[in-house]
Amino acid sequence: MSNKVSELAQNLIGSEIIKLAGEINEKIKQGSSVYNFTIGDFNPALFPIPQELKDEIVKAYEANETNYPAAEGVMELREAVSTFLKRYGNLDYSKDEILIAGGARPVIYAIYQAIVDPGDKVIFPIPSWNNNHYTYLSRGQQVMIETKPENNFMPTAAELAPHLKDASLLALCSPLNPTGTVFSKEQLEEICDLVLAENKRRGENAKPLYLMYDQIYWLLTVGDTKHYDPISLRPELRPYTIFVDGISKGFAATGVRVGWAYGPANVINKMKSILGHVGAWSPKAEQVATTNFLNNHAAVDAYLKWIKETVKKRFDAFYKGFTELKNEGFDVDVIVPRAAIYMTIQFNLKGKKTAEGKTLENTDDVTSYILNEAGFAVVPFFAFGSSRESAWYRLSVGTSKLEEIPAIFDKLRTALKKLS
């Protein structure tokens, strides 16, 4: 009997990150010591969720809040999110313009399904997280814009402009996974103006160019970094912009599964219908708990202050370590971290020879070398759509222990010294 499946399933590309994780887990099983910075997540022992949120989750289960939630999310949570957005982002969205889901992934899937018809153009920068897969699942046409390190890997208006005609969706993310960099005010304003001009060109009766703005990391800016969003800069974009957000990153609650979208009610309602059929609801107990937590402004303020300071300490330590290696003449580089839990680093080691005389011929060789020789595991940018020739990597600090960082750089330095 044939084992054929659908064409969609047959041609779906697996995750490069999961493939790398398999290699790392195998090394750990064999007794190797690995500093694993590949995971876009938090070590709960280092980054626990807020105690108040944890207490509210327990209370909600004890109160038997275990039946189906409303398809769009419980009303009280949508009201709490509305207040939260106004208080922290000065964004004015009513409960009827907000959709709750089981994390940000179902929200993104629903945006694609609500907007993209088969064959429609979807524009997104690379590196970026999973837009290639979501475009494929919606049977859209990928238009990938490879960004540059001199622009902190953020797309520019000039790079996007030639591709906007007749596109259905422009997918942007800031702070960006995998880079930890952000749009400047001027960068985002220029892009917003392009979207407005394109929709004006199309006229009222045509399908518009929509903007998906993923700001799931917006609460995790560090230092003097400011987060900007399209609607605050250009209110006229409101009918075309759908935001992706939730508690996963700002409150280290990746496994709690409470995400939300907000945008024009007509699109949000279609997304609600799609997710209603998928059943991608956030559990009711977690929704009730998140409602009560978000309404506890003192607890929210205290936790955000703590997590930003805790992330920044790790950013500072890794940035110092890579800067020192670079100043010592090693072929590495690092971009100033601005937000999220990610850093952009470079190992420009292709062509180098190991102590055994093997040439590092490609990015896979380099990745394996630093893993095997230094126990240092990071994700190459090609896992996020960039060229396989790219020497840039994502380093996630959410699992890092501050006290281990000096030893990490000792091992990296030793490994780099062995190359010629």
Whether pLDDT at 126 is above 80 = yes
User: What domains sit in the chain, N to C, each tagged with a CATH number?
Assistant: 7-47+302-417 (3.90.1150.10), 51-296 (3.40.640.10)
| Mean pLDDT, range 124-144, rounded to an integer | 96
3-state secondary structure of 3: coil
DSSP string, 217-279: TTT-B-TT-----HHHH-GGGGGGEEEEEESTTTTS-TTT--EEEES-HHHHHHHHHHHHHHT
Which of 16-20, 202-206, 210-214 has the highest average model confidence (pLDDT)? 210-214
Residues 78-96 have pLDDT tens digits of 999 999 999 999 999 999 9
- Report how far residue 5's alpha carbon sits from residue 11's, in angstroms, rounded to the nearest whole number: 10
C-alpha radius of gyration, the chain, whole number: 22
Helix H, strand E, coil C: the string for 262-273 is ECCHHHHHHHHH
- Report how far residue 102's alpha carbon sits from residue 109's, in angstroms, rounded to the nearest whole number: 11
| Mean pLDDT, range 212-232, rounded to an integer | 98
pLDDT at 19: 77
pLDDT at 21: 76
CA dihedral 123→128→130→135, nearest 10 degrees, is 10
The one-letter amino acid at 382: F
Residue 18 CB-half CA count within 13 A: 4
Residues 166-175 have pLDDT tens digits of 999 999 999 9
pLDDT at 375: 94
Q: Which of 230, 288, 291 is nearest to 264 (CA)?
A: 230
- Categorize the per-residue pLDDT at 26 as very low, low, confident or very high, splitting at 50, 70 and 90: confident
pLDDT at 18: 76
Whether pLDDT at 383 is above 90 = yes
| Mean pLDDT, range 221-244, rounded to an integer | 98
pLDDT at 279: 93
Whether pLDDT at 23 is above 90 = no
DSSP string, 162-220: GG-TTEEEEEEESS-TTT-----HHHHHHHHHHHHHHHHHH-TTSPP-EEEEE-TTTT-
Q: Are strands 392-396 and 342-347 parallel, antiparallel or unpaired?
A: antiparallel
3-state secondary structure of 32: coil
Average pLDDT, the chain: 96
| Mean pLDDT, range 355-363, rounded to an integer | 95
Asked if 371 and 26 count as a contact pair (C-beta separation under 8 A), the reply is no
pLDDT at 2: 73
| Mean pLDDT, range 141-170, rounded to an integer | 97
Q: Which two tokens stand for residue 96?
A: 């009827």
Asked if 113 and 120 count as a contact pair (C-beta separation under 8 A), the reply is no
Determine how many CB atoms are found less than 10 A away from the CB of residue 1.
Answer: 3
pLDDT at 32: 79
The Cα diameter of the chain in Å comes to 66
Whether pLDDT at 1 is above 90 = no
pLDDT at 20: 78
- Report how far residue 94's alpha carbon sits from residue 80's, in angstroms, rounded to the nearest whole number: 10
